[in-house]
Amino acid sequence: MSTVDPEVRSGPLDAEGTPLADRRVPEPSSAGDDGPDTPRRASALWTVLGLLVVLALASVVNLLTDLVPAVTEGTGVGRIAKSVEFPVYAIALGFLGNAVLSLTGVRARMTAAFRTELFIKIGLVLLGATINFAVVVRAAGPAVLQAVALITIVFLFTWWFAGLLGIDDKLRALLATALSVCGVSAAVAAAGAVQAKKEHLAFTATLVIVFAVPSIFLLPWLAGVMGLSPAVTGAWIGGNIDTTAAVTAAG
């Protein structure tokens, strides 16, 4: 029986005894593949685009607030247009922008830029920086006492009343915190503290929003009907609406 040299039959072998003809040569990467950093760059780009959308919508709201009353002055709708302030335009354009971005399929990619709660709180801090510090010092004592009394009374009453209804203790904690402090943000913090279920947090957040959105329009109108002063109206709105955004819009 004749023997054939393996190198003659299979061709040259490498150091591990594998025929060189059977070795796979890795394909060169495409010119556009930059490695694992590519998704991060794309995400950062979409976030920047989202911020530009937010700034554009805010600019349009500011423009409409000044332009619409000026254009309609002396007409039948001029008086109504003069009384419509920026929150109404912001809500309308917000719904419109959300619909357009959702239909085009890019809203999910820009979600990181839509931190509206954060923007509002930054605005509140900047607004507070313009207030005379002497006024804050004079009003600090009564304001702190009022806030402590209000939070304590509302929390204890909500906890007691929810107990009468037989509500779970963890959900009671979320409801009491949301109603007495600052709505959804407080409920999120309380949920982590009492280890509440996701369903409890979702229920509490939904309940807060269901009552907060109508209050944006209802409370200022009732304040006008009752003839409340701006200071009393502000305290009433701030103490009864449970989300920062809704309080800002109503104020």
Burial 169-201 (b: 16+ CB within 10 A, else e): ebbbbbbbbbbbbbbbbbbbebbeeeebeeebb
In the block, which residue shows the tokens 């407080």? Answer: 186
Structure tokens at 199: 């369903």
Q: What is the separation of C-alpha 217 from the centre of its chain, rounded to a whole number of angstroms?
A: 20
| Residue 84 contacts residue 68 (beta carbons within 8 Å) | yes
Is residue 110 within a helix (H) or strand (E), and if so which, with residue range?
none
235 or 155: which leads in pLDDT: 155
- pLDDT band for position 73 (cuts 50, 70, 90): confident
Name the nearest CA neighbour of 186 among 164, 154, 218: 154
pLDDT tens digits for 192-217? 888 888 888 888 888 888 888 888 88
Quick one: what percent of the chain has pLDDT higher than 70? 82
In the block, which residue shows the tokens 């409801």? Answer: 175
The rounded distance, in Å, linking the Cα atoms of 64 and 72 is: 11
142 or 55: which leads in pLDDT: 55
Q: What is the pLDDT of residue 47?
A: 87
Q: What is the pLDDT of residue 60?
A: 92
Quick one: what percent of the chain has pLDDT higher than 90? 12
Q: What is the pLDDT of residue 7?
A: 47
First-to-last C-alpha distance (Å) of the chain = 101
List Cα–Cα distances, 151 to 37, 99, 147, 175, 187, in angstroms. Answer: 48, 38, 6, 13, 14
Q: What is the pLDDT of residue 21?
A: 55
Domain ranges of the chain: 39-114, 128-250
- pLDDT band for position 14 (cuts 50, 70, 90): low
- pLDDT band for position 226 (cuts 50, 70, 90): very high
The rounded distance, in Å, linking the Cα atoms of 13 and 178 is: 74
- pLDDT band for position 27 (cuts 50, 70, 90): low
The rounded distance, in Å, linking the Cα atoms of 87 and 92 is: 9
| Mean pLDDT computed over 52-56 | 90
Structure pTM? 0.50
| Mean pLDDT computed over 212-230 | 89
| Residue 228 contacts residue 211 (beta carbons within 8 Å) | no
| Mean pLDDT computed over 94-117 | 86
